[in-house]
Amino acid sequence: MSSIKIFDYSRTLPSPFDTLKSKKIKVSSTYGDGTEATLSGSVIKAVHSMIRYMEAMSEGAVGTRDNLCIAEYKSAVSADAYHLVIYNKASGALMASVYDKSVETFEQYLVGKNGRDGAAILTAMMPALLEDEEFNSHFVSYKDHMDNGYPDLNAAAEDMAILCDNAYRRVKDETCAAHLKVSMFSNHQERSHKQQLTETPCTEQYARCCGRTAVSHRLLPDSFSNISYTIPLILRVLEFCFLQTVLMME
């Protein structure tokens, strides 16, 4: 399934899991196979980003409006690089661009082995992922490990492995009760999609996709109901319609 390309398993894991001997942990999410789960670098980065944004430890933001989940993901590539993503949890549609703040330029967001690792997409999906009780519970538990400097790395790895397994299964398995749709395009599909889009003026396309061209902050569910986020860059992106379809790379 093409949507699983947003989950990276081939690259080195982010700290503190880069010291583990194996990416496989003997735990499983409710939706898993009951034996083990594999740590995904892109999920780890998304969870870490979400926590840092919540605690104002890093530039970036996450928010929602109606069915839209929106992320301003701060890339580590450079001080001025941002990945801007809108995920429609009802339709699974994704729109994203890579933005360079210093020169105000945009480029297509390409995901896959030779492209981006999908962390920005999963960051945008966090509000939808957190609607699941299991994901929310282990996110809260993992956040406690992270806030306290990982006093028990094995326990933190187990929480993270369940988060990775939960997210992967919910995206991959269309029969899952908590399934999250994710729609992506290959280069060939995207060309056809672009032909359809060009039949409608850009402002109408985004008005239809987003409903409105302003993104308000929203409160996150459950344990984080007192935390809100604003999306300064994404407001401008929506206004001028710079987001594009997300393409898959081999």
What's the CA gap between 138 and 150, in Å, rounded?
15
Q: What is the mean pLDDT of residues 117-122?
A: 89
Half-sphere CA count of 10, side-chain side, radius 13 A: 11
pLDDT at 184: 66
Where is 115: in which H helix or E strand? none
Q: What is the mean pLDDT of residues 44-52?
A: 95
pLDDT tens profile 133-158: 999 999 999 999 999 999 999 999 99
pLDDT at 2: 56
155 in helix, strand or coil? helix
pLDDT at 237: 47
Q: What is the pTM of this model?
A: 0.77
Where is 178: in which H helix or E strand? none
What's the CA gap between 46 and 246, in Å, rounded?
17
Sign of CA dihedral 105, 106, 111, 115: negative
Tokens of 156: 């933190």
Instruction: List the single range of 7-16, 66-75, 107-116, 130-139 with lowest mean pLDDT.
Output: 107-116
pLDDT at 245: 47
